[in-house]
Structure 1
């Protein structure tokens, strides 16, 4: 009966510079993730959909805006904020321009509106300053996100299959010793 001989190759230890590069890459990825982490997960990034014509021509109905929570907002900044409790539309999100800062919060007004909003947005209700927008994003983004998700899943499947095939091909056959 032939005896199996297992291949006892010495495992090479990873080089110190490779370990350092890997650690730095993980730290950099975590840093970027912390910056772009969505608001529900404790980050500063959030989004809102513009509804109505109060911000025309800057933003139109259906535009999606990306907002970044900051420590302070200056007059002229476009912000998204929750309508204060007890007001018409309470809890809804408004995208308007800051026109003045008061002790109670920020006075805002839509670019297309003739008068300022009837309330002052307290600092704690402001979700952030608009940093980017997707015109007509309410219609475009669901289609793109669906296609992107499909492409990402397909790419993941292809990568896994290729890796499994590569491992299967590269698996060394066990040598046998004749008796």
Structure 2
């Protein structure tokens, strides 16, 4: 297997965590800021379908509120399970709201539990109310790549000749015989640089003052707790009072940090190494050499192969 194929496999390997749930997943776009900073308006959250008996206090669930229009769903945190007349209800609250929701929801109305989020992906959907942003996104992801593809192939169509066809065949043959080689000095330099960077970003600049945790740095930090709401985000200068299990810099989306901690707390303790490794793989063109390299060049409307 070629090195590029191995690198690609390693880059997508984190998504293998979702394979056991793939048949029960559904997307939903966040429209309000009631759950900030866990996820934000414009994010797309991924739900795992569950039934009412699987709901627990602390879960962030999407549900159909009672007496609301069909197709209306709210994504809030379950803060209490209430039993009335043999029926189970959930009391919910948005993390960014001061008060709980003013209604109880039957557990049968729960559609799914939030397990992942993709920042800003909701802007690609019809639910984005800002038409200008939606149009810019569509242009960036559809029209501009199409124009680029047409422009890259246009010279080949205009100046096509049997000689060009022969050169393209030779170029394809050369590419099939290319060898990949790791430039170890560059690889170690890139890896070490990223390790230092992510270690600095993830290391929280906090101090203890009068029994309180104070964010004395210039970046937001995430405090993981053991309460119903299992996290707090401290902006520079903010304080936190209470029991906590781990503090780290807010480099990833808050929901990702919370879910990684649920999978295994050790992951967050070596997150700088994991992110540096993933970043180094992503930057593989800097340290992976492919030889020989040939490029098709055009001079005075004539094509030739040039070795780089």
TM-score normalised to the size of structure 2? 0.31
Superposed, 1:69-148 pairs within 5 Å as: 69-71=49-51, 72-84=54-66, 86-87=67-68, 91-103=71-83, 104-140=88-124
**Structure number having the greater strand percentage:** 2
Aligned residues: 107
Superposition deviation, residue 68 in structure 1: 0.7
CA distance in 2, matches of 1:101, 1:93: 19
* Structure 1 unaligned regions, length at least 5: 1-31, 38-43, 148-179
* Secondary structure of 2:123 counterpart: helix
Superposition deviation, residue 129 in structure 1: 0.7
Q: Is the 8 A contact 1:46 1:127 kept in 2?
A: no
* Secondary structure of 2:91 counterpart: strand
Task: Tell me the residue number matched to 1:58.
Answer: 38
| Alignment of 1:36 onto 2:22 | yes
RMSD, aligned CA = 2.7
* Secondary structure of 1:127 counterpart: strand
Higher-Rg structure is 1
CA distance in 2, matches of 1:116, 1:90: 22
* Secondary structure of 1:139 counterpart: helix
CA distance in 2, matches of 1:77, 1:52: 18
CA distance in 2, matches of 1:55, 1:35: 24
Which structure 1 residue ranges, 4+ long, deviate > 4 Å from structure 2? 140-144
Q: Is the 8 A contact 2:89 2:105 kept in 1?
A: yes
Superposition deviation, residue 93 in structure 1: 1.0
**Structure number having the greater helix percentage:** 2
Superposition deviation, residue 50 in structure 1: 1.0
Superposition deviation, residue 107 in structure 1: 0.8
Superposition deviation, residue 108 in structure 1: 0.6
* Structure 2 unaligned regions, length at least 5: 1-18, 127-136, 143-308
CA distance in 2, matches of 1:133, 1:141: 15
Q: Is the 8 A contact 1:48 1:93 kept in 2?
A: no
